[in-house]
């Protein structure tokens, strides 16, 4: 009766029967007491399990190592770390020797609490006491090291014993998180060489990592290798590949693979459905995404908050306020409480539709609803305000953000810098730059490009060139936006020789391949400050490199031609190029 009630988490019934046993003098065995503790664990009542343990003698039962182990496991399941050590100490005071199961629970507790050094010491203690760590012991510590980014330490630890598949899986997962795909593939080869068969988790981890990095063709090659070795894919394998197709914008192939998965009778789970919805939303297929949500309901797999968040974000990207609002209301009506991601997506929708007061109210209500806004939420709101020129409000939100204990990051400052520079509020922008440096934050590429763009629009070309030098010294690699901004600024100021020097030097060093924007800036600058003949040289060079001039390029040349009437040679050349194109 206790077992059956415990499986249904009917703990009042369990307690009643235990009291009846006590009244009738029926002793409680070790096995039955373990069943009671496991029932409390299943019901999420670890503290009640501990209280019951302290009453163990009332029921005619003595504590054993096995009972202690199940109690420790119940406490671990609810992350009651502060209670685990005292119970372990009591266990030793009772003269009981911990076994490998006990140590493994303690190792999991330490690792879940990110105390990997303590886990290392416990492994040593185990060996000294003659309780040799098993595969679970090592796998627990190796997994924790990989999760904390200490992959090299994990590899060294794995080298001290004969690794098994779970250990290799932890290592593969660790290197994949660092985007070291080659290292993951080497581990795969190492496993095969040692006669250890990779399982579906091993292959799927690598396939998922390749898909995330827009390398779905290589992911398919790994799938082929998986099939050759007789390892069948599961729904997670298919989901990873479907995600990869969506990341590359290959919507039809993603849907074909989904249909193939269904035909092969793989039942989609919530992760698979949400991946499909997210992929469709990312590619603007909102009607299809909504249809998938309806299908989920029909198939007994209702959408969760992540699914709804993807839909709201998708509607935001296409500017559909009605679609986003309907999704939000549907989510709330179905009792699915929004998380911080869902709230942030809704703030984004409202900002894109210039409904800033409603967005602000939503941010204000988040804390009251038990879901306080995070840095991303504030950044989204600040970005929307800056994009609409409401910079004063955005700056006030920065102060409010810090008062709420939510620290700004470099993205916060990037948004504010962009807004201030666009409004020509240079002094305040410089103040933001000083604040970034005072806080010891590292400027990223976006920060530098934002400041460069601000300098260039203000005609501060010299300061922009100095910032470019500082950027290079600090080890931030410029991109196309950086170079295009500097070239345009010099062309605007009439320092064409500097623009050409930078253009030719960087292009020759293959640090950057000039694009249509860079060529158009040079052509425009030469037309304004040098002459049509020199501009035509770079037009020819542009065409010879396979870069097609755009409307801006032609406009600059035509205006230059009409401002120097009588020079017919260049227009014939221009006409000839157009015909040849």
Q: How far is CA 463 from CA 434, 466, 551, in A?
A: 15, 5, 31
The span from the CA of 249 to the CA of 3, in Å, is: 52
Look at residue 449 in the predicted model and tell me its pLDDT. Answer: 93
Cβ proximity of 398 and 435 under 8 Å: no
Q: Name the residue among 1, 3, 72 with its Cα closest to residue 31.
A: 3
For the segment 460-516, what is each residue's pLDDT rounded down to a tens digit?
888 888 888 889 898 899 999 999 999 999 998 888 998 888 888 887 777 778 889
d(CA 307, CA 310): 5
- pLDDT tens profile 46-82: 888 888 888 888 888 888 999 999 989 998 888 888 8
Cα radius of gyration rounded to whole Å, the chain? 32
Q: Is 14 exposed, middle or buried (0-12, 13-18, 19+ CB in 10 A)?
A: buried
Q: pTM (2 decimals)?
A: 0.76
Distance of alpha carbon 326 from alpha carbon 289, whole angstroms: 14
For CA atoms 456, 462, 465, 469, give the dihedral sign.
negative
Q: Which two tokens stand for residue 229?
A: 């070795």
Percent of the chain that is helix, strand, coil (3-state, to 5): 75, 0, 25
- Helices and strands of the chain, counted as H and E runs: 34, 0
The Cα 282–Cα 315 span in angstroms is 10
Other C-beta atoms closer than 10 Å to the C-beta of 548 total 9
Ordered by start, the domain boundaries in the chain are: 268-373
Q: Rounded to whole angstroms, how far apart are CA atoms 246 and 311?
A: 15
Distances (CA, A) of 245 to 213, 268, 276, 318: 11, 17, 11, 21
The residues of the chain scoring below 50 in pLDDT are 567, 580
Distance CA 341, CA 362 (A): 13
- The 3 state secondary structure assigned to 141-207 is HHHHHHHCCCHHHHHHHHCCCCCCHHHHHHHHHHHHHCCCHHHHHHHHHHHHHCCCCCCHHHHHHHH
Q: 380: which 2 tokens?
A: 């989204």
Taking phi first (over 0 means left), then psi (-120 to 50 degrees means alpha), and beta for anything else, what does residue 407 get? beta
pLDDT of residue 577: 53
d(CA 362, CA 357): 9
Angle, alpha carbons 76-78-83 (nearest 5°): 60
User: What's the Cα-to-Cα distance from 239 to each of 179, 341, 495, rounded to whole Å?
Assistant: 19, 22, 54
- Crossing angle of helices 426-438 and 410-422, rounded to 10°: 170
Render 113-134 in DSSP notation, one character per residue.
TT-HHHHHHHHHHHHHTT----
Cα Dmax for the chain: 118
Element (H, E) at 321: helix 321-333
**Distance between CA 155 and CA 180 in Å, rounded?**
14
Query: Is 324 within 8 Å of 349 (Cβ atoms)?
Result: yes
Q: CA 465, CA 483: separation in Å to the nearest integer?
A: 10
Distances in Å between the alpha carbon of 161 and those of 44, 134, 144, 147, 153?
36, 9, 17, 20, 14
Half-sphere exposure of residue 391: CA atoms within 13 angstroms, side-chain side: 18
DSSP letter (8 states) at residue 320: -
**Residue 320 — φ and ψ, nearest 5°?**
-100, 90
From the CB of residue 578, how many other CB atoms can be counted at a distance below 10 Å?
11
CA 292 to chain centre: 24
Q: How many Å apart are CA 529 and CA 191, to the nearest integer?
A: 65
pLDDT value, residue 405: 84
**Residue 329 tokens, joined:** 């209301």
Residues 6+ apart with CB under 8 A from 416: 382, 386, 391, 394, 395, 398, 432
Structure tokens, 153: 């330490």
| 3-state class (DSSP) for residue 460 | coil
268-373, which class in CATH? Answer: mainly alpha
């Amino acid at each position: 009766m206790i077992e059956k009630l415990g499986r249904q988490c009917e703990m009042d019934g369990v307690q009643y029967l235990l009291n009846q046993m006590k009244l009738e003098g029926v002793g409680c065995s070790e096995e039955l007491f373990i069943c009671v503790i496991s029932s409390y664990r299943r019901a999420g009542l670890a503290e009640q399990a501990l209280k019951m343990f302290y009453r163990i003698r009332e029921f005619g039962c003595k504590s054993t190592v096995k009972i202690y182990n199940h109690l420790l496991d119940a406490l671990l399941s609810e992350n009651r770390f502060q209670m685990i050590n005292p119970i372990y100490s009591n266990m030793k005071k009772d003269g009981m020797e911990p076994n490998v199961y006990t140590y493994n629970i303690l190792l999991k507790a330490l690792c879940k609490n990110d105390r990997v050094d303590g886990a290392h010491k416990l492994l040593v203690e185990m060996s000294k006491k003659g309780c040799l760590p098993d595969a679970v012991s090592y796998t627990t510590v190796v997994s924790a090291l990989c999760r904390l980014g200490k992959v090299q330490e994990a590899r060294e630890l794995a080298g001290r014993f004969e690794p098994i598949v779970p250990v290799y899986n932890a290592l593969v997962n660790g290197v994949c998180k660092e985007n070291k795909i080659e290292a993951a593939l080497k581990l795969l080869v190492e496993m095969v060489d040692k006669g250890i068969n990779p399982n579906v988790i091993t292959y799927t981890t690598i396939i998922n990592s390749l898909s995330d990095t827009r390398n779905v063709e290589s992911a398919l090659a790994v799938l082929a290798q998986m099939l050759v070795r007789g390892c069948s894919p599961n729904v997670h394998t298919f989901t990873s590949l479907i995600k990869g197709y969506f990341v590359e914008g290959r919507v039809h192939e993603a849907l074909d693979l989904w249909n193939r998965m269904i035909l092969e009778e793989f039942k989609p789970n919530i992760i698979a459905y949400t991946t499909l919805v997210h992929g469709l939303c990312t590619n603007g297929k909102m009607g299809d995404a909504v249809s998938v949500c309806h299908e989920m309901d029909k198939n007994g797999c209702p959408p969760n908050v992540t699914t709804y968040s993807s839909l709201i974000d998708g509607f935001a990207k296409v500017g559909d306020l009605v679609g986003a609002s309907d999704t939000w209301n549907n989510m709330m009506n179905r009792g699915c409480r929004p998380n911080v991601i869902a709230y942030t997506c809704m703030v984004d929708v409202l900002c894109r539709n210039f409904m800033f007061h409603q967005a602000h109210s939503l941010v204000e209500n988040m804390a009251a609803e038990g879901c306080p806004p995070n840095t991303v939420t504030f950044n989204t709101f600040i970005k929307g305000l800056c994009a609409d020129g409401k910079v004063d409000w955005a700056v006030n939100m920065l102060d409010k953000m810090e008062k709420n204990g939510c620290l700004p990051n470099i993205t916060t400052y990037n948004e504010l810098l962009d807004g201030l520079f666009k409004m020509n509020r240079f002094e305040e922008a410089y103040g933001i730059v000083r604040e970034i440096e005072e806080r010891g934050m590292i400027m990223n590429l976006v920060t530098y490009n934002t400041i460069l763009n601000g300098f260039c629009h203000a005609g501060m070309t010299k300061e922009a060139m100095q910032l470019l030098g500082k950027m290079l010294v600090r080890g931030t690699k410029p991109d196309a936006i950086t170079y295009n901004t500097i070239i345009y600024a010099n062309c605007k100021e009439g320092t064409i020789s500097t623009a050409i020097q930078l253009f030719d030097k960087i292009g020759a060093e293959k640090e950057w391949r000039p694009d249509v924007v860079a060529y158009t800036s040079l052509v425009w600058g030469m037309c304004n400050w040098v002459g049509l003949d020199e501009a035509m040289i770079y037009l020819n060079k542009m065409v010879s490199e396979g870069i097609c001039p755009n409307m801006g390029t032609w406009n600059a040349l035509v205006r230059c031609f009409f401002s120097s009437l009588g020079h017919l040679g260049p227009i014939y050349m221009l006409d000839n190029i157009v015909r040849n194109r």
